[in-house]
A = this chain, B = another copy of it.
Amino acid sequence: MIIDKLIDLILERQNPTVMGLDPRMEYVPADIVKDAMDRYGQTAIAVKYALLAYNKGIIDAICDIVPAVKPQMAFYEQFGAEGVDAYIQTVAYAKEKGLVVIGDVKRSDIASTAEAYSDGHIGRVDVLGVEQSFYQTDFITVNPYLGSDSVEPFLKNCEKYNTGLFLLVKTSNKGSGDFQDLLVDGRHIYEIVGKRVAEWGAGLVGKHGYSSIGAVVGATHPSVAAKLRKQLPNTFFLVPGYGAQGGSAADIAASFDKNGLGAIVNNSRGIIAAYKTEKYAGMNYAEAARAAALAMKDELMACRQ
């Protein structure tokens, strides 16, 4: 089961980190940008070339110490079809290097449409008689606001193709309170959604006791994470909000179970743009990413004990 593969890698590398691949052009080193523009000018193809070169350098630098990467599709999709191609090639490269890939796409739609997203991202699509898998992500993130029938086509492919989901339960942003924190008969919406996530994932629990159907629970709400950790003993958490968004290693502790498992913590710019900070000055971007990933691993492992 895909969740077992993820947890096995976390255990093997003793590192519950997922590296967010959310590349902004201002993170990409000047020599890569110059090379891309010399070849392709001020075009989307040059952007694709630059993003891919940058991503590959970072993936090469961390692929033996980090278990998973999470490309954020928005940062690729914004550049049109060439951008989407950069996303697809990034996913393929990360998988080639043995990493688990979580596509952060936050898709949602009614069932007949959700099926198309599901087939594309975590299943297979019929291309005029030939089955193809275009995105090939191991997991994707899904927004549950449309309810159970909208999630069903994603669950179906998780079962069929051994892929997984992280459903938004309590997001890391401040505005998450607007709707997710509303109280219904004494229970928050995020608790109600969380309970449904556990039900949806009940049939896909692996050998470590966690399901391939997980939940997004922001690091910025440690007391909520602690409560959800208790309520959802078989639900693995994808934890955004560490670092740049304000979540500390201590805030993360609440998301782990007593064995130090149960969560994988995302860090994007803190790793991929580490070379721009004073702490890693003088290193190239790939060396700095590796050093920052190792520092984060130490912080997380310490807070789990």
Contacts and interface: CB of A to CB of B under 8 A. Distances in A.
A147 B175 contact: yes
A175 B149 contact: yes
Nearest to A125: B78
B177 A147 contact: yes
Contact of A120 (B77, B114, B168, B174): B77
A215 interface: no
Given A106-B107, A173-B110, A144 B146 contact: no
A80 B128 contact: no
Interface size class of A (residues with CB under 8 A): 35 or more
B179 A193 contact: yes
Contacts of A74: 107, 109, 113-114, 116-117, 120
A126 interface: yes
B180 A145 contact: yes
Contacts of A79: 120, 125, 127, 134
A211 interface: no
A21 to B, nearest CB: 12
B184 A127 contact: no
B78 A81 contact: no
A42 B173 contact: no
Interface stretch (A43-51, A255-263, A284-292, A295-303): A43-51
B147 A111 contact: no
Interface stretch (A9-17, A82-90, A224-232): A82-90
A196 to B, nearest CB: 7
A147 B169 CA distance: 13
B88 A80 contact: yes
A163 interface: no
A145 B143 contact: yes
A181 B172 CA distance: 24
B182 A189 contact: yes
A184 to B, nearest CB: 5
A18 to B, nearest CB: 15
A149 B119 CA distance: 31
A192 interface: yes
A108 interface: yes
A75 B22 contact: no
A139 interface: no
Given A106-B107, A127-B43, A179 B189 contact: yes
A235 interface: no
